[in-house]
Amino acid sequence: MIEIQDPLHAYSIFPGPILLLAGPGTGKTYQIEKRILFLFSEMNADPDEISVITFTTAAAMSMRTRLSNKSKEAGVDKCPSIINTMHSLGNSIIGEFPEFFGLPKDYSVLANQEFKNVLMRDAARIEGFETDICTAVKNCRTKGNCKEDESDLCNVCRAYRTILRSSGYVDYDDLIFLACRFLAERKDFATEFRKKTRFLLIDEYQDINEAQCDFIGLLSEGQEDGVFAVGDDDQSIYSFRGGDPKYIKNFESYFDQNPRIGRLSVSWRCPEHIAIGASAYSGEVGH
């Protein structure tokens, strides 16, 4: 690990991989925006080589709007071709080759949680288990650490997937699992697709799970120098979806190259004098 001495200008450092640890209001989105402008102006990157991964659809839409405005201000009439959530990116890969997964071209993503629970309970009964095993199966899938073995959990999970596929469905967990499987097994496609992720930027890195960490590794394989990630190692908003901050804390262990890591410590959203004043006021209230 190499410590970044001037984290405010981390966006202009190359090669990576680069990780910026940053709390609320410290400029995470600003760093991503500046990174993209740097790639266009200094690295002569093509929009089709840059992929930005956000954690929510709203964040992706906001990022696209902000980048469009910033690019015009900087006189750069370009925007990355891919600004998506990780699940949307996985779905785009699956959608190109649905037959590889035994899916019809008009497959659907299962969004109804109650319907998912019904199918999971059916899978448990098919395998001869009580439905209370479903909680452990769902937790395993949510954390992204499903392993293909002959355990009871895996048997129920396989039965659940069989029911999904026979109905022309995938669920949100599948969007990452299947995309990882395809990239790992179809080397020709993976090599071609990585041209779109030559420069891979990841927001809210602290909220990824194991499968998403694998996905990032597959997308950046052989071109880790283009990875630029930002996240807050003190919080994990989406832990209920399987996000685990251990992946941000162990960032350097997932890349062959020596990563550069820096920390943005100044919150522009809450300047020091405001924080001090708020602290003093809360103390008075406490008395």
Give 8-14 contacts, CB < 8 A, sequence gap 24+.
Answer: 8/264, 10/260, 10/262, 11/35, 11/38, 11/228, 12/38, 12/42, 13/260, 14/43, 14/225
Is 29 annotated to bind ligand? yes
Is 28 annotated to bind ligand? yes
Is 26 annotated to bind ligand? yes
Q: Quick one: pLDDT at residue 271? A: 55
DSSP bridge partners of 54: 85
H-type alpha helices, 167-228: 172-185, 187-193, 210-220
Q: Quick one: pLDDT at residue 74? A: 54
CA 224/CA 217 separation, integer angstroms: 8
Structural contact between residues 57 and 85, judged by C-beta atoms closer than 8 angstroms: yes
Return the structure tokens found at 228.
């630029």
Structural contact between residues 252 and 1, judged by C-beta atoms closer than 8 angstroms: yes
CA 71/CA 129 separation, integer angstroms: 56
Is 262 annotated to bind ligand? no
Q: Quick one: pLDDT at residue 75? A: 56
With CA atoms as reference, report the closest residue to 212 among 198, 222, 199, 202: 202
Is 131 annotated to bind ligand? no
CA 73/CA 62 separation, integer angstroms: 17
- pLDDT per residue rounded down to tens, the chain (287 residues): 788 888 888 999 999 899 999 877 677 888 998 999 999 989 999 999 999 998 888 888 888 887 777 666 655 567 888 999 999 999 999 999 999 999 999 999 998 999 999 999 999 999 999 999 999 999 999 888 877 788 999 999 999 999 999 999 999 999 999 999 999 999 999 999 999 999 999 998 988 999 999 999 999 999 999 999 998 877 655 555 666 778 888 888 888 778 999 998 776 555 555 545 544 544 444 43
Sequence ranges of the domains in the chain: 12-91+177-286, 108-167
Tell which CATH architecture fits domain 12-91+177-286: 3-Layer(aba) Sandwich (3.40)
Q: Quick one: pLDDT at residue 278? A: 45
Is 25 annotated to bind ligand? yes
- Residues with Cβ within 8 Å of residue 187, at least 6 apart in sequence: none
Is 22 annotated to bind ligand? yes
Return the structure tokens found at 274.
């405001």
Give the chain's length. 287
Structural contact between residues 136 and 72, judged by C-beta atoms closer than 8 angstroms: no
